[in-house]
Structures are given as structure tokens and as C-alpha cells.
Amino acid sequence: MCYGWRRRKKERLLKFFGKEKKLFITDVDGVLLDLMACFPKNLLDAAIEFGISTELIKQYFVDVGAGLNKEVASVSATIKMLYPELNDIEIQRFKTIFHQKDAQNPYPPIKGSRIMIKWLAKHIKVALCTNKGLPDLKHHLQFAGFKLEWFSFISSWETGHPKPDPRALTIITDALNIPKEKSLFVGDWFPDWECAKSAGIPFCAVLSGGIPKHVFMREGIQENHIFERLFNIVEIIKP
């Protein structure tokens, strides 16, 4: 879904690792928004209200942090993986409770992410690639102080190609008519990396989503392409 397109009087390239880029694509949760500050609690609270054990959820986050679980690409898939005994109706009820908790306890911005995106949007196109649905996405972005007009394109759940499907990314480059090699995607979890690899788009990882550096390196990401958080990417940007 295209959202927030705007013309700029002057748009220039920025160099990342010495290579010119026209498009900066970023995930949302764990990159812009502090997922780990709220998501575990929201999921646990939803499980308690639903009336099911929370031990599997607690172990899930331990495993993710240790790189033992490569995660899944949606809340529904996470619930189904953790509680295979639930039927589709029960999963949907659990998901509804979770989204209520998520709306009541939205994620704050990660330090420096908002100012970084605002600055980037003044120079090159910035796009979002997320598995969030648009209503949920808008609520979380607005709560955290991000303006939708900063983004030239939003690839969300509604596009029909959730990550790790490479079309979650290529729908952006195709719509904006920007070559893949002139783009950069920043993510914080395994489906982001898998999506970038399949799409042929350069990738950088951030640690703010809870996955440690050695796990990303084990997956084949170069150490100098891994950053503590989004703001630290400024270290490799040149006009």
C-alpha cells in the first residue's frame, strides 16, 4: 500500500558504506519502536486473560534471545506455534485479546529512531516494511511521534505478502522505481534477513529487537553491518 507520497524540491543520494542509496527501508517493531519494552508483557497479559499457561511464552522469549528460536512472522503464527492445541477460533480470540493489550500499552520509540527517520526523509525516500496491519501500525507510530508523511511507501500486512516473502520488499522498490542495489533494508529479526536475502536487497541488522550480535553473525551477516540501534547507522552514512 502506497502511503504518504510527497514531492521534494531537492532530493539527493546518501552513501552507506560508500555506496549511493536512493531508498532507505526499515522494519517497525524492534527498529523504530521498542518492541521488547512492551510486547512480552502484552502477550503474557493476553495469555492470563485468555486463561492459558504463560510458561511457554516466557521460554519462547528466552529462546529468541539465545538465538535458539528463529521466531515466526505474525502473532497468529506465534500463538499457533506455542499452543498447537488451540483451534482457529481460539487463536483468533487470543489474538483479539492481545491486540487490545497492545493498543492499551503501545511501544515507545527507540532512542534516536525518530530523529534519524526525520533526517533521512529530508534527503532520500524512506519506506516501511512491516507485518503489522495498517490500523495497528498507524496507532503505534502516532503514539511514538512518527509522522506518516515521512514515509514514501508502506508495505504492511494488507499487501498480501508478509515477510519473509521477498515481495514484501520488492513491492516497494517496484512501486518507487528504485533499483534494489540503490536500496537498504534495516531489520531486527530473522524474517527481515531472509526477506532481504531473497529479494536481493542489501541489509543491516539492529540489536534493539532482542536478538544478540553473535546470532546475526552466525546467520551470515557481517559484523560491520550490525548496529546497536538505528541511530548508530549514522556512523556509516556520508552525503
How many domains, in total, are found in the chain?
A: 2
What is the crossing angle of helices 75-82 and 55-65, to 10°?
Answer: 110
Residue-level pLDDT at 72: 63
Question: Of 56, 76, 104, at which residue does a domain stop?
Answer: 104
Stated pTM of the model? 0.91
Query: Is 6 inside any structural domain?
Result: no
Question: What per-residue confidence (pLDDT) applies to 6?
Answer: 39
Q: Are residues 137 and 50 in the same domain?
A: no
Is the same domain home to 229 and 147? yes
Q: What is the 3-state secondary structure (H, E, C) of 174-215?
A: HHHCCCHHHEEEEECCHHHHHHHHHHCCCEEEECCCCCCHHH
Q: Is residue 1 part of a domain?
A: no
Domain-embedded: residue 208: yes
| 238 has pLDDT over 90 | no
Query: What nine digits make up the cell of 127?
Result: 519506506
For the chain, give the percent of residues with pLDDT over 90. 85
pLDDT (tens digit per residue) in 131-186: 999 999 999 999 999 999 999 999 999 999 999 999 999 999 999 999 999 999 99
Q: How far apart are the first and last CA of the chain?
A: 30
Of the residues 59, 83, 104, the one at which a domain ends: 104
* Chain mean pLDDT for the chain: 92
Lowest mean pLDDT among 18-27, 66-75, 163-172: 66-75
pLDDT tops 60 at residue 2: no
Average pLDDT over residues 52-75: 84
104, 121, 140 — which closes off a domain? 104
Strand order in the sheet with 203-206: 153-155, 125-129, 23-26, 183-187, 203-206, 226-227
* Lowest-pLDDT range of 1-5, 13-17, 85-89, 121-125: 1-5
Q: Give the model's pLDDT for residue 138.
A: 95
Is 2 a domain residue? no
> Any idea what the CATH number is for the domain that residue 153 is in?
3.40.50.1000
Residue 64 lies in a domain: yes
pLDDT at 199: 98
Backbone region of residue 112 per phi and psi (left: phi > 0; alpha: psi in -120 to 50; beta: other values)? left
Shared domain for 100 and 114, answered yes or no, is: no
Q: Report the alpha-carbon distance of residue 190 to residue 195 in Å, rounded.
A: 8
Give the structural domain span for 126: 14-34+107-238
How much is the pLDDT for 4? Answer: 39
Alpha-carbon distance of 161 to 153, in angstroms, equals 15
Same domain for 55 and 122: no
Report yes or no on 24 lying in a domain: yes
